[in-house]
Structure 1
Amino acid sequence: MNPEIGIQYFYTSSKPIGGVIKERPEDFIVEEIDRHLRLHRIGYSPIEKFLDLLPKRRKTYLHVTLVKRNYDTLRAIRMISKQLGISRKRIGYAGNKDKFALTSQRISIYQATISQVRQVRLKEILLKNFSYADDPIRIGELYGNRFTIRISQIFLEPEVVKARIEEFLREARMGLPNFFGIQRFGEQRAINHLVGKKILLGDFEGAVKILLTSTSELEGEENREARLFLAQNWGDWKEAIKRFPKELHIERLVVEHLIRSRNDFIGALRRIPKQIRLMFINAYQSYIFNLTLSEMIRRGFRENVSVPLVGFNTKLEGEIGEIVEEILRREKITLENFKVESMPEMSFSGSSRDYLFFPEKFKIIKVKKGEAVIQFVLRKACYATTLLNELMKNI
């Protein structure tokens, strides 16, 4: 369970296996399956290397497999675009992949050549499987992802672990709650939804304050000290910019704007790339959704139904509508708040999402003393950490 992001109950009754994930990035492998059902592997075989050397007829977009270790997708794209000397807007991708992981995904680069991309040299990033295409890769254009997960520090006998995984799988085949995972909210600092709520309420200074000053033990000491300084010296932007490390790229963009325009908090938020800005509102929608699913689990819902992702046009009907209305009352938020007049680009009309998701091709790869390795496929927008939470019951 993870109450801070709205996950308050377990759905399955299987006994936990416990353990730890992500001791190393290699413990969490994510391989994209594109919309044509092609799996893009993290490895680079001799035949792939040979095919990459063959001449190819140039088209508008170059498609490439990006393999990255310990990078989030947006940071990897920013680093690649910087080395190529192009705008990051020229690089398309289908979805974000986990940061503390080893991942593969297809990206497209507008008006780039293979020879140019071969010059990119970045630690823990590999670019391979070059092909030209007439169209870019767009957000959402994928089937899903294959996950290969190593769970370590399991203090049960291997035969017990195997039996409990099989018990869990019998339940999982009937569906698991489609919670949004911690990645949606921020893996190091789960604050995205808190920033989003402030924006919806029109408290733009409050949104900036949470973004810049909220601390987490998962961050490095230099980052924490910079945030604590600003929390205690709010408004001292010139000193803050000296203290915020370069790796805090987004925060520095915000502070740099406030040095030039002291109280322009809307303008400061607009310095953040739009895709990231929208994630704050998406995260708050996701928090409301997770709270809704938690209440549905408490009430015993077992059938797969459509659940609102709230926005200003959402129609709240039936028992699920009543649940959402009560949550919004507790949160002191209305549907009308999702129409942000001062920042119209942050407004959301609403959509919906299934209550349950169904893992595919689940395999037990290995179980031995202290660890287990499992593999499964999830459709796009489903979270492996949700499945692991139900299996391990300790994250």
Structure 2
Amino acid sequence: MLSPSSSPPVPEIDMMAGIECYCSADFSGIGGSIKQDSSSFQVSELVDESSLGISKEFEGAYRYPLYLLQKEGVDSNHALFEIEREHRLRLRVMGIKDAKAVTSQYAGAERAWQNAPKELRTRHTMLTLQGFTKRPLGRELLAGNEFSIAIQNPMRDDISGFENQVQNIANFYGLQRFGSERLVTHLVGRAIVKKDFARAAELLLTYTTKYDTDSSREIRRKCLDPSGYRQALKEVPRGMDIERQLLSALVAGKGPVQALRAVPIQIRRLFVQAYQAYIFNMCLSRAIAQGEDITSPKQGDLCFEMEGPFAFGRIKKYDPSLLSDKQQFVPAVRMAGYTFQPGRGRFEEITKELLVQEGVAAKDFYVKEMQELSQQGGFRQAPLWCQDFAWKKNPLTVSFKLPKGSYATTLLRELIKPQDPIKAGF
């Protein structure tokens, strides 16, 4: 594990997301960029097909339509909004896929529907009926994602040796988890956890960074004065749908809590979850700074017992004296949440210190004013846990598999080490 002191300088925007180091020792970044065109970044879900239980026909208990959703130029949440708006079909997906990619994933209907169309299209999506399931699609069926990514304009196209670094990479949440160039979602989440709902609404409307676009900064400047909300609403572009929903509620005279509830629940939940992600990133950064090897379990660590390539099983306290040769354990980090109880593990002690510095307690993640946003906590693996990494030249293309919830851009930042992540497509 590379210590931060021997790493290249970490970009400021990474630091703002709690990512304070690199992990790939003895590998200089190749430069270049990603996502300059969507076709260069391809993602497909890894699912145990047999666990879906698909029937080609609507019959008996098989009543819920299951579609293959292929999309480009829109994230999964907005793709679902677009489909519902144009076809009055409400779907759910197992994972959120980025806008700047060509993605393929399952989407299941939330209600039984015998005469479900075999194919539907919107501006950014294509839906193809796969059959019918016994129950609505659940996230538990998703194992991970498979990626194929072309690197544009690298300084070199030979990355020999990088495959030896892949297992050292920390499982950081990527910048897109925090809103990329705006980097605001965790700040909104922090305000919600601290029960400062007016501040949460204000941040959502006005917060910006130097990485943000000029047009975005100008719109947010117009939202600084609440007396100008009505005029700002007329000028906010349709693409800023979250801001429009929030502004409309405020202009209608609703208080901060009710105004925030105008934002779809899928988006609102991301705010508090992003704050959890920030604390997680900070925890791993500090552990690495303290010289900890986050990829290997130590006596007393809480760990996942692996039950398959991407099957993170029960949480157990690691004791090497009780291991069998067939058991494999992966270090786990206990996430901040209202069930968080600091123990004696190395990650738990760091998280406890971070919560004190943040001025929040575990119980604060139970938001009684907005109970639907409360977060228990849970566990997340410390290493990235990348599988089947491969690469080829002309053009330089990397392929690999990651567990659900892990970010391809976390691996790519170690490969590229961009000076400006936003310009580089992160």
TM range (shorter): 0.7 to 0.9
Q: Which amino acid aligns with 1:146?
A: E
Separation in 1, partners of 2:64, 2:384: 34
**Residue 134 to residue 37, structure 1, CA distance change in 2 (3 Å):** closer
In structure 2, C-alpha distance between the alignment counterparts of 1:127 and 1:220, rounded to whole Å: 32
- Name the structure 1 match of 2:357: 330
Equivalence for 1:392: 416
Contact 2:386 2:401 in 1 (8 A): yes
Deviations 1:226-275 (A, max 9, x none): 221111x224322121111122212111111112225x000011111222
Matched residue, 2:261:
270
Match of 1:4 among 16, 26, 46: 16
Q: Tell me the residue number matched to 1:383.
A: 407
C-alpha deviation, 1:216, in angstroms: 5.2
**Which residue of 1 is the match for residue 32 of structure 2?**
19
CA distance in 2: counterparts of 1:295 and 1:16, whole angstroms: 22
1:354 to 381, 385, 395: 381
Q: 1:357 to 1:114 in 2, by over 3 A?
A: farther
Partner-residue secondary structure (3-state), 2:130: strand
SS in 2 for 1:105: strand
Could you tell me how far apart the structure 2 residues matched to 1:193 and 1:235 are? 26
Match of 1:132 in 2: 132
Query: CA contact under 8 A between 1:31 and 1:145: conserved in structure 2?
Result: yes
Distance 1:168 1:249, change over 3 A: same
Distance in 2 between residues matched to 1:130 and 1:37, nearest whole Å: 13
- Judge conservation of contact 1:62–1:114 (CA < 8 Å) in 2: no
Report the identity percentage: 31
C-alpha contact (below 8 Å) 2:121/2:127 kept by paired residues: no
The aligned counterpart of 2:205 is: 212
Write out aligned runs for 1:17-166 (5 A). Answer: 17-36=30-49, 56-57=57-58, 59-86=62-89, 88=90, 91-109=91-109, 110-112=111-113, 116=117, 118=119, 120-156=120-156, 158=157, 161-163=158-160
Give per-residue Cα distances to partners, 1:92-136, cap 9 Å, x unaligned. Answer: 211101111110000012334566353x33223222252122222
Superposed CA deviations along residues 152-191 of structure 1, whole A, max 9, x for unmatched, are 11123x4xx232xxx121122x342111111211134211
State the 1:325 CA deviation.
2.3
SS in 2 for 1:6: coil
Answer with 238-247 or 68-77: which moved more.
Answer: 238-247
CA contact (8 A) 1:258 1:268 kept: yes
Higher helix share: 1
TM-fit CA distance, 1:324: 1.6
Contact 2:58/2:114 (CA < 8 Å) preserved in 1?
A: no
CA contact (8 A) 1:338 1:349 kept: yes
* Alignment partner of 1:292 out of 256, 268, 283: 283
Label 1:76 to 1:65 Cα distance change in 2 as closer, same or farther (>3 A): same
What is the alpha-carbon distance in structure 2 between the residues aligned to residue 187 and residue 382 of structure 1? Answer: 16
Partner of 2:316: none
TM-score, normalised to structure 1, is 0.86
Q: Name the SS for the 2:396 alignment partner.
A: strand
Q: Distance in 2 between matches of 1:265 and 1:281?
A: 16
Does the 8 A contact of 2:47 with 2:142 survive in 1? yes
CA distance in 1 between partners of 2:153 and 2:251 (Å): 48
Q: Does 1:168 align with 2:162?
A: yes
Instruction: Report what 1:315 is aligned to.
Output: 341
* Mapped contact 2:117–2:129 kept (Cα < 8 A): no
What is the letter of the counterpart of residue 231 of structure 2? Answer: E
Residue 22 (structure 1) shift: 0.9
Which residues of structure 1 form unaligned runs of 5+?
Answer: 39-54
With over 3 angstroms needed to count, the CA separation of the structure-2 counterparts of 1:37 and 1:95, relative to structure 1, is farther
**Deviation sequence 1:166-222 (CA, Å, 0-9, x none):** x121122x3421111112111342110000001111111110011011235666655
Structure 1 CA distance, aligned partners of 2:213 and 2:173? 26
Superposed CA RMSD in Å reads: 2.3
How far is the alpha carbon of 1:288 from its aligned partner?
Answer: 0.3
Tell me the distance in 1 between the aligned counterparts of 2:116 and 2:140: 28
Q: 2:273 aligns with which of 274, 282, 293?
A: 282
Q: Do the aligned partners of 1:71 and 1:99 also contact (CA within 8 Å) in 2?
A: yes
Does the Cα contact within 8 Å between 1:244 and 1:252 map onto a contact in 2? yes
3-state DSSP of counterpart to 2:104: strand
Q: What is the CA–CA distance in structure 2 between the aligned matches of 1:210 and 1:225, rounded to whole Å?
A: 15
Counterpart secondary structure, 2:393 = strand
Contact 2:184 / 2:203 at 8 angstroms: preserved in 1? yes
Letter aligned with residue 253 of structure 1? Q
Equivalent residue, structure 1, for 2:4: none
Determine helix, strand or coil for the equivalent of 1:116: coil
Letter in 2 for 1:203: D
- Is contact 1:140-1:380 (8 Å) kept? no
TM-score computed with the length of structure 2 as normaliser? 0.80
1:41 maps to what in 2? none
Equivalenced residue count is 365
Alignment check: 8 A CA contact 1:34 1:143 kept = yes
Local SS of the residue matching 1:343: helix
Structure 1 residues 65-90: Cα deviation after superposition (integer angstroms, max 9, x where no partner): 1110111001111111122224x3xx
